[in-house]
Chain A
Amino acid sequence: MKATRLLAASLLAVLLGTAAASAEDAHGSPQPPRVKWSFAGVFGKFDQAQLQRGFQVYKEVCSSCHSMKLVSFRNLAEPGGPDYSAGQVRALAATYQVKDGPNDAGEMFERPGRAADTFPPPFPNDQAAASANGGKAPPDFSVLAKARTFERGFPWFVFDALPFMGYSEQGVDYIHALLNGYEDPSEGKEVPAGTYYNTYYPGHLIAMPKPLSDGQVTYAKNDKGEPVVPETVDQYSRDVAAFMAWAAEPHLEARKALGFRVILFLILLSGLLYYVKKRVWADVGGEVHGLQPELHKTY
């Protein structure tokens, strides 16, 4: 018995040793800092004012290169989102020109956007987007917040799945960090033309120039004419990352609200079933009737 324990222990030691030896490398990027998001956790909800600010940043800055093809104007008025009114959305959509057709004469034409339209992309196709942006099309924003992540490593990834410690905002944190990650390259690091140094980008050389700078977007003021939030890169990046989280997961609020009720119901039901089970099994005593020993002929 001791021998097998020894075998198990030494096997484990060898494995962990060899694995740890190679785990050192490939950690070039620091971990993005964790932001306190209003939509994190079991009771998470989007901050509607933040989503509206984030949409403003998207509209005024990001949308000149990044498409958002899967999101419709009408989504902006749906519950659990930025909460614009239907009228605001109609007016917003009408400011865009949307390609439609062919009409009865067989021709494509442009018309003002409607609430049901998706956001028109800034470039007619991916090739045009790529050729205008140094050979690679800027990624679409629709699900980008779910399409980015970073490795948390053992044991953190285990804790991330647990109640009260749950962490599923890696993508949003990465986007926020990336937008704040433009720095001077470390000593001796070559930055080729057409690329920019970013602390959080894997490999550090990103093709997107620093998109945001302080004071670039003018947010709506409160009644007294004072700014509600600072007009800084950090605030812009938080707002646009939150907006992207909503765009990627527009039913997040409905999901979390329903989940709470479902899990509460299941916990209550399992509690009741536990006592029913105990009650039923309390009767198990001596010979139980209604059995069919002949079903066990093979024994």
Chain B
Amino acid sequence: MSAHATTYVPKSRLAKWFESRLPIVGLVHSSFVAFPVPRNLNYFWTFGAILIAMLASQIITGVWLAMHYEPSATAAFNSVEHIMRDVNYGWLLRYAHANGASMFFVAVYVHIFRNLYYGSYKAPREVLYILGVIIYLLMMATAFLGYTLPWGQMSFWGATVITNILAAIPVVGDTIQSLLWGGYSVGNPTINRFFSLHYLLPFMIAGVVVLHVWALHVTGQNNPTGIPIKSGKDAVPFTPYATIKDVFATVVFMILFAWFIFYQPNYLGHADNYVPANPAVTPAHIVPEWYFLPFYAILRAVPDKLGGVILMFGAVLILAFAPWLDTSRVRSCNYRPIYRQFFWVFLIVCVVLGWLGAKPPEGGYVLAARICTAYYFAHFLIVMPLVGLFETPKALPGSILESVTGPGKQVSGSGLPTGAAAAPTTKG
């Protein structure tokens, strides 16, 4: 980041003194004020800001919850209830944290599917994109660890199922399992470890987010046309244009978040997790949180344990290969008439997999999960490479500006306000 040129000019003597020693104000200025943003971005591009807001919310509520929580097999459940009953606004902290995890995943799924639709993963944004996949993996680990902490029935049995899955990994599986358990089964050492890791991983996420944003500011943002910024006319400065749009979208997203916190706080959870963990009683259905359901369906679709584990992790890791599996020269699905339809089929298949993940693994559900699992991988391994080769994309606009104002039109006569150039938008 430090290699960036910046238009920031320190004015006061203190600012000059500081900037010549640590040019961090200039760095922030070039990244969040003067940074050129394609002018045609739609609201799907506000989810990066929403995700940062959610990460901040999770870390703040989580740090406060940790002040009252006791990570032990005998005390965890009651300490969560102590937070709900006796800590001032403890119910708000806990519901905000539990539902915050779900909202974090809502936002990340919109972000991921936006990326897939507009081909944002393609060159030159491969590293940016892979960092995103790493953040997604870390989020999944963090969410899983966090869900075990209330030490209810679903916490305990979820932890048991997932750690047993890891034991299927050849050679190192057993070692990983005993390291996570800290004993011969899920128990008190396990919850201690999980709490420690649950507190660690969000800061690792924050670190990778810094890299993600850094990589974004090297390549610039993709946009609905998928064509790069060619001149100043294609872009607006980040501040105030993207800033105000991001703030507006984040506040709208917070309405959804608040609805769940205040009116449906347990909708996205499981009633079974209000039953204290009992190693002697297995719940009727062990079901993970909604955001893991597609992967859970894939895991159970495979009759072989190791095979299920490979496909489940493969389903996430295959995302990282999308930049090389997709052979199309055109990024955005807006100009890819055939692939666009496959995109929607893929989205539906993911939703159906999620629904199947919540169903018992029997009869027609298993068959449906197998068909969907096969399609999930076929999308990446067959559809992505082949459609790119055979599809004839629609004609791309000449520039981002042209996609906004229509082809061949002059900027000044395009119905946009005259005097725009004189408007005081450029003081940054």
The residues of A with any CB-CB pair to B shorter than 8 Å are 1, 4-5, 7-8, 11-12, 14-15, 17-23, 25-26, 42, 70, 75, 139, 142-144, 146-149, 154, 160-161, 163, 166, 168, 170-171, 202, 248, 250-251, 254-256, 258-260, 262-263, 266-267, 269-270, 273-274, 276-277, 280-296, 298-299
Binds A, one of B57-65, B238-246, B326-334: B238-246
Is A284 in contact with B420, judged by CB distance below 8 angstroms? Answer: yes
Shortest 3 CB-CB contacts between residues of A and residues of B = A259-B262, A285-B420, A22-B363
For window 322-358 of B, CB contacts with A under 8 Å fall at 337-338, 341-342, 344-345, 348-349, 352, 355-356
| 8 Å CB contact of A291 from B36, B338, B371 | B36
Is A15 in contact with B30, judged by CB distance below 8 angstroms? Answer: no
| 8 Å CB contact of B262 from A23, A161, A263, A274 | A263
| 8 Å CB contact of A161 from B219, B248, B254, B267 | B267
Can you list 6 A-B contacts with CB-CB less than 8 angstroms, sorted by A residue number? A4-B342, A22-B365, A251-B91, A283-B423, A289-B426, A291-B34
With contact pairs A5-B341, A292-B36, A295-B36 given, residues A273 and B248 touching in the complex (Cβ less than 8 Å): yes
Most chain B CB within 10 A, of A14, A23, A144, A263, is at A263
| 8 Å CB contact of A296 from B228, B233, B252 | B228
- Chain B: CB-nearest residue to A9: B345
Is A266 in contact with B258, judged by CB distance below 8 angstroms? Answer: yes
A129 to chain B, nearest CB (A): 14
For window 255-273 of B, CB contacts with A under 8 Å fall at 255, 258-267, 271-272
Collect the chain A residues with CB atoms within 8 Å of residue B411's CB.
285-287
Given contacts A146-B266, A251-B91, A290-B426, 17 further A-B contacts (CB under 8 A): A12-B348, A17-B364, A18-B364, A143-B81, A147-B272, A166-B263, A166-B264, A263-B255, A270-B252, A270-B255, A273-B248, A283-B417, A289-B421, A289-B426, A295-B36, A296-B220, A298-B124
- Chain B: CB-nearest residue to A75: B85
* Chain A interface, DSSP helix/strand/loop, else mixed: helix
Collect the chain B residues with CB atoms within 8 Å of residue A12's CB.
348, 352
Is B244 in contact with A259, judged by CB distance below 8 angstroms? Answer: no
State in angstroms the CA–CA spacing of A289 and B344 once bound together. 39
With contact pairs A8-B341, A251-B91, A270-B255 given, residues A19 and B39 touching in the complex (Cβ less than 8 Å): no
- B367 on interface, CB distance cutoff 8 Å: yes
Is A147 in contact with B271, judged by CB distance below 8 angstroms? Answer: yes
Collect the chain B residues with CB atoms within 8 Å of residue A20's CB.
364
- B196 on interface, CB distance cutoff 8 Å: no
Collect the chain B residues with CB atoms within 8 Å of residue A296's CB.
36, 220, 228-229
Is A163 in contact with B259, judged by CB distance below 8 angstroms? Answer: yes
What is the 8 Å Cβ interface bit string for chain B, positions 370-406, against chain A (1 contact, 0 not)? 0110010000000000000000000000000000000
A287 to chain B, nearest CB (A): 5
Is A11 in contact with B375, judged by CB distance below 8 angstroms? Answer: yes
| 8 Å CB contact of B416 from A277, A284, A299 | A284
State in angstroms the CA–CA spacing of A298 and B305 once bound together. 45
State in angstroms the CA–CA spacing of A95 and B293 once bound together. 50
Collect the chain A residues with CB atoms within 8 Å of residue B245's CB.
277, 281
B61 to chain A, nearest CB (A): 15
With contact pairs A15-B371, A18-B368, A266-B251 given, residues A148 and B420 touching in the complex (Cβ less than 8 Å): no
- B237 on interface, CB distance cutoff 8 Å: yes
What is the 8 Å Cβ interface bit string for chain B, positions 168-195, against chain A (1 contact, 0 not)? 0000000000000000000000000000
- B274 on interface, CB distance cutoff 8 Å: yes
A-B contacts at CB below 8 angstroms, number: 221
Interface size class of B (residues with CB under 8 A): 35 or more
For window 1-51 of B, CB contacts with A under 8 Å fall at 4-7, 30, 34-36, 39
A66 to chain B, nearest CB (A): 14
- Chain A: CB-nearest residue to B219: A298
State in angstroms the CA–CA spacing of A280 and B34 once bound together. 15
Is A288 in contact with B233, judged by CB distance below 8 angstroms? Answer: yes
- B218 on interface, CB distance cutoff 8 Å: yes
- B282 on interface, CB distance cutoff 8 Å: no
Is B232 in contact with A293, judged by CB distance below 8 angstroms? Answer: yes
- B425 on interface, CB distance cutoff 8 Å: yes
State in angstroms the CA–CA spacing of A250 and B254 once bound together. 25
Is B345 in contact with A7, judged by CB distance below 8 angstroms? Answer: yes
Collect the chain A residues with CB atoms within 8 Å of residue B359's CB.
19, 22-23
| 8 Å CB contact of B417 from A1, A143, A256, A282 | A282
- Chain A: CB-nearest residue to B428: A290
State in angstroms the CA–CA spacing of A14 and B368 once bound together. 8
- B235 on interface, CB distance cutoff 8 Å: yes
With contact pairs A75-B85, A149-B271 given, residues A287 and B91 touching in the complex (Cβ less than 8 Å): no
State in angstroms the CA–CA spacing of A19 and B247 once bound together. 42
Is A22 in contact with B7, judged by CB distance below 8 angstroms? Answer: no
Is A281 in contact with B220, judged by CB distance below 8 angstroms? Answer: no
With contact pairs A286-B412, A288-B425 given, residues A270 and B4 touching in the complex (Cβ less than 8 Å): no
- B236 on interface, CB distance cutoff 8 Å: yes
Collect the chain A residues with CB atoms within 8 Å of residue B306's CB.
none
| 8 Å CB contact of B218 from A8, A283, A298 | A298
Is A283 in contact with B420, judged by CB distance below 8 angstroms? Answer: yes
Collect the chain A residues with CB atoms within 8 Å of residue B219's CB.
298
Is A1 in contact with B274, judged by CB distance below 8 angstroms? Answer: no
A205 to chain B, nearest CB (A): 15
State in angstroms the CA–CA spacing of A149 and B275 once bound together. 12
Collect the chain A residues with CB atoms within 8 Å of residue B349's CB.
11
Is B85 in contact with A70, judged by CB distance below 8 angstroms? Answer: yes
State in angstroms the CA–CA spacing of A25 and B363 once bound together. 10
State in angstroms the CA–CA spacing of A81 and B368 once bound together. 48
B35 to chain A, nearest CB (A): 7
- B208 on interface, CB distance cutoff 8 Å: no
A167 to chain B, nearest CB (A): 9
- Chain B: CB-nearest residue to A20: B364
With contact pairs A259-B263, A280-B244, A288-B233 given, residues A273 and B251 touching in the complex (Cβ less than 8 Å): yes
Is B421 in contact with A18, judged by CB distance below 8 angstroms? Answer: no
State in angstroms the CA–CA spacing of A251 and B241 once bound together. 41
Is B220 in contact with A11, judged by CB distance below 8 angstroms? Answer: no
Most chain A CB within 10 A, of B92, B95, B259, B426, is at B259
- Chain B: CB-nearest residue to A293: B232
- B284 on interface, CB distance cutoff 8 Å: yes
Most chain A CB within 10 A, of B34, B260, B264, B359, is at B264
